[in-house]
């Protein structure tokens, strides 16, 4: 039986190679893949240079700001920029749609600014060509084109009956065909991922990703799984269709519905179901809570009075002037801490909404496997929302550390009522180490993508079930 499968695969491969239109399509796919990687690579290099320059400039500015009051240093703060990861040359993910820089200053946690898409004009809504797009949408289309008539044609020309009458089971024919097409797909993706792997482990300019090898292996596995599923599905549709035309139509409709319509409608539906507040309202909510407190008796004034009492009691003095520290510094830091609490609370609520919105779409991946592969691909290349969110979180921690250090220095080293008289210098600025980001380990990212992993597994298993059994095939 095994040799029969190989024989059929060989025959099928010969058939495909003879078709010149498929050769053209095949070449187009490879050219597109090459162009996408080339474009991704240039964008990556460019971005890396820009980020490095900008980051170095801001760092130098921070260190050479001269002698000044630490709170003023905290006030005018510094910047952090979002680094591109090497794998983003494969899958741009959300990079175009997230902000690229964030301003870190005292009193006020800023949002990320400058979404690159804002400079891209109307055209960007048609999407960017990335290698991931080629593998996720275009390669399946190629699969459809080469497989839709694999059984219908045999049936139309009468060779199907001939084969079966010679004792070859449908199962064997089916497996042979799937094998043949899968070999064709592998000719594209195996060298591609091998190359990506070697580029990935040898690239030294970017140390943002620590588990490059694992990420690329995972990418390879999910893509192989996805494309195998698609091949299997297309062959199965061809087997079940009465003629080539209806097989093609069914497959094309499946492609459009699951690749274009469902992802878009479900994301939009997610937004309709869980609408976001406007920035204005969101920020006002935060400011309101900072001023009036998140609980009763926690208004700004009351918090200050309480803080004062605590400190007077702690140091057993009757006036803040007698405290061994500068109370203004304590007060400022306390204000920061409370604001952080409020921000965290509101941000958590907001992120919950993001997650609910995205979940609506993730669940649809059981109907549309494209959604699963798209999200997993972004996750493994660290260009997804969770990776961005992790980056954001780390900049937040960095900012808090920076402001706290400045305020504590002021509390410790200056006296109450003094402001311009006290000046700190480079020694203090240097205690804040440069911001160096490392992505989460991919194993930690996986937990956010249980639905996608489950759906891809579901599709994979469903395809195994679709393979005709050898028993059944003997009956035809």
Residues 317-356 interacting with another protein (rule: CB under 8 A): 350, 353-354
Question: Interface with another protein by CB under 8 A: which range of 35-43, 159-167, 221-229, 460-468?
Answer: 35-43
Residues 193 and 184 sit within 8 Å (Cβ to Cβ): no
> Quick one: which of 26, 62, 90, 145 contacts another protein (CB under 8 A)?
145
Is residue 273 a contact point for another protein (CB under 8 A)? Answer: no
What backbone phi and psi angles, to 5 degrees, belong to 81?
Answer: -115, 150
Tell me which residue of 233, 247, 271, 253 sits closest to 357, measured CA to CA.
271
Cα-Cα-Cα-Cα dihedral sign, residues 31, 37, 38, 43: positive
Is residue 466 a contact point for another protein (CB under 8 A)? Answer: no
- Shortest Cβ 213–another protein spacing (Å): 27
Is residue 126 a contact point for another protein (CB under 8 A)? Answer: yes
HSE at residue 258, side-chain half, CA atoms within 13 A, is: 23
Question: Interface with another protein by CB under 8 A: which range of 143-151, 173-181, 433-441, 465-473?
Answer: 143-151
Q: How many residues bind another protein (CB under 8 A)?
A: 93
Q: Which of residues 149-188 bind another protein (CB under 8 A)?
A: 149
Is residue 118 a contact point for another protein (CB under 8 A)? Answer: yes
Q: Which of residues 228-247 bind another protein (CB under 8 A)?
A: 244-245
Question: Interface with another protein by CB under 8 A: which range of 38-46, 157-165, 223-231, 424-432?
Answer: 38-46
Considering the complex, state which of residue 220 and residue 388 has its C-beta at the smaller distance from another protein.
Answer: 388
- 239-261 per-residue burial string, b: 16 or more CB within 10 A, e: under 16: bebeebeebbebbeebbeebbee
Residue 309 CA to residue 320 CA, distance in Å, equals 9
Q: Which of residues 5-24 bind another protein (CB under 8 A)?
A: 21
Is residue 30 a contact point for another protein (CB under 8 A)? Answer: no
Question: Interface with another protein by CB under 8 A: which range of 132-140, 212-220, 320-328, 440-448?
Answer: 132-140
Is residue 112 a contact point for another protein (CB under 8 A)? Answer: yes
> Quick one: which of 48, 217, 221, 252 contacts another protein (CB under 8 A)?
252
- Helix (H) / strand (E) element for 311: namely helix 300-315
Give the count of beta carbons closer than 10 Å to the beta carbon of residue 169: 20
Q: Two tokens at 378? A: 């972004």
Tell me which residue of 293, 292, 289, 303 sits closest to 332, measured CA to CA.
303
- Shortest Cβ 249–another protein spacing (Å): 7
Beta partners for residue 424, in sequence order = 68
Is residue 286 a contact point for another protein (CB under 8 A)? Answer: no
Would you call 282 helix, strand, or coil by DSSP?
Answer: helix
> Quick one: which of 165, 420, 465, 475 contacts another protein (CB under 8 A)?
420
Considering the complex, state which of residue 41 and residue 308 has its C-beta at the smaller distance from another protein.
Answer: 41
> Quick one: which of 165, 281, 316, 447 contacts another protein (CB under 8 A)?
281
DSSP H helices, 364-422, are: 369-380, 385-413
Residue 57, CA distances (Å) to 50, 64, 78, 289 in order: 11, 10, 10, 36
Is residue 114 a contact point for another protein (CB under 8 A)? Answer: yes
């Amino acid at each position: 039986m095994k040799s029969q499968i190989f024989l059929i695969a060989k025959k099928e491969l010969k058939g495909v190679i003879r078709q010149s239109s498929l050769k053209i399509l095949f070449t187009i796919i490879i050219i597109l893949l090459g162009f996408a990687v080339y474009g991704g690579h240039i964008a990556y290099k460019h971005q890396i240079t820009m980020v490095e320059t900008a980051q170095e400039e801001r760092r130098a500015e921070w260190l050479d700001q001269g002698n000044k009051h630490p709170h003023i240093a905290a006030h005018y703060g510094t910047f952090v920029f979002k680094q591109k990861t090497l794998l983003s040359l494969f899958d741009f993910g959300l990079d175009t749609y997230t902000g690229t820089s964030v301003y870190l200053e005292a009193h006020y946690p800023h949002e990320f600014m400058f979404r690159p898409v804002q400079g891209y004009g109307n055209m960007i809504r048609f999407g960017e060509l990335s290698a991931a797009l080629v593998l996720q949408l275009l390669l399946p289309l190629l699969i459809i084109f080469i497989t839709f008539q694999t059984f219908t044609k045999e049936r139309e020309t009468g060779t199907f009956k001939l084969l079966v009458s010679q004792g070859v089971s449908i199962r064997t024919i089916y497996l042979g065909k799937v094998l043949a097409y899968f070999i064709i797909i592998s000719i594209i993706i195996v060298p591609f991922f091998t190359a990506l792997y070697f580029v990935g482990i040898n690239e030294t300019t970017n140390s943002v990703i620590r588990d490059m090898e694992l990420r690329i292996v995972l990418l390879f596995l999910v893509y192989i799984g996805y494309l195998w599923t698609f091949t299997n599905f297309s062959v199965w549709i061809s087997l079940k269709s009465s003629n080539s035309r209806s097989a093609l139509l069914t497959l094309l409709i499946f492609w459009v519905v699951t690749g274009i319509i469902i992802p878009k409608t479900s994301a939009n539906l997610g937004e309709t179901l869980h609408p976001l507040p406007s920035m204005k309202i969101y920020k006002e909510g935060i400011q309101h809570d900072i001023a009036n407190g998140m609980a009763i008796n926690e208004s700004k004034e009351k918090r200050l009075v309480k803080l004062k009492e605590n400190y007077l009691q702690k140091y057993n003095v009757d006036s803040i002037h007698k405290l061994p520290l500068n109370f203004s510094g304590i007060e400022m830091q306390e204000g920061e801490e409370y604001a952080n609490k409020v921000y965290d609370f509101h941000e958590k609520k907001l992120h919950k909404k993001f997650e609910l919105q995205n979940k609506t779409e993730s669940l649809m991946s059981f109907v549309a496997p494209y959604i699963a592969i798209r999200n997993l691909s972004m996750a493994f290349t660290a260009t997804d929302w969770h990776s961005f969110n992790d980056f954001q979180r780390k900049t937040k921690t960095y900012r808090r550390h920076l402001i706290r250090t400045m305020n504590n220095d002021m509390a410790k080293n200056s006296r109450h009522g003094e402001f311009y008289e006290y000046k700190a210098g480079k020694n203090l600025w240097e205690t804040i180490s440069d911001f160096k980001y490392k992505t989460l380990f991919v194993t930690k990212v996986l937990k956010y993508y249980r639905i996608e992993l489950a759906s891809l597994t579901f599709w994979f298993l469903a395809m195994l079930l679709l393979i005709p059994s050898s028993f059944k095939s003997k009956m035809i």
